[in-house]
Amino acid sequence: MSENSTELLDTVRKMHDLLALLAEDKIAQRDAKLRDQLLQIVGNSKPKQKSVFLMDGTRTQKEIRDEVSVNQGNFSVMVGKLSAAKLLICDTKSPKLAISIPTNFFENHAKTK
């Protein structure tokens, strides 16, 4: 890629991030029920919470488990529940979260309890 293309792509990514930040309240309202289900399924487990952020469709379940050191059985059950709740798109072998969540999603919920 040329230097101009790289610079343009970087600028577009920054614009995307800014728009996502501005739209977060509307996204949260739209996805409120799904986000509540996500919180119920994932719970307070830090490894499970970290694993959700890695569910972008590019990693297999094994790669995610290895990266966050989550129990295989617990993780598989969680992925199954997420899939049943329509919180995943694609297949469960390389899970991808169907909704967007901010990086502080679980921390914000813990503070509001």
What is the domain partition of the chain in residue ranges? 31-112
- What's this model's pTM, rounded to 2 decimal places? 0.72
Q: What is the pLDDT of residue 23?
A: 62
In whole angstroms, give the CA distance from residue 102 to residue 113.
18
pLDDT for residue 85 is more than 70: yes
Phi, psi of 88 (to 5 degrees): -120, 145
Q: What is the pLDDT of residues 36-67, one digit of tens each?
A: 999 999 999 999 999 999 999 999 999 999 99
Q: What is the pLDDT of residue 113?
A: 53
Which of the pair, 18 or 73, is modelled with greater confidence?
Answer: 73
Q: What is the pLDDT of residues 87-112, one digit of tens each?
A: 999 889 999 999 888 888 998 776 65
Which of the pair, 69 or 27, is modelled with greater confidence?
Answer: 69
- Residue given tokens 């949260």 in the structure block: 28
Phi, psi of 15 (to 5 degrees): -65, -40
CB 95, CB 79: distance < 8 Å: yes
Of the options 1.10.10, 1.10.12, 3.30.70, 3.30.530, the CATH number for the domain spanning 31-112: 1.10.10
Which of the pair, 74 or 22, is modelled with greater confidence?
Answer: 74
Q: What is the pLDDT of residue 4?
A: 84
Q: What is the pLDDT of residue 17?
A: 75
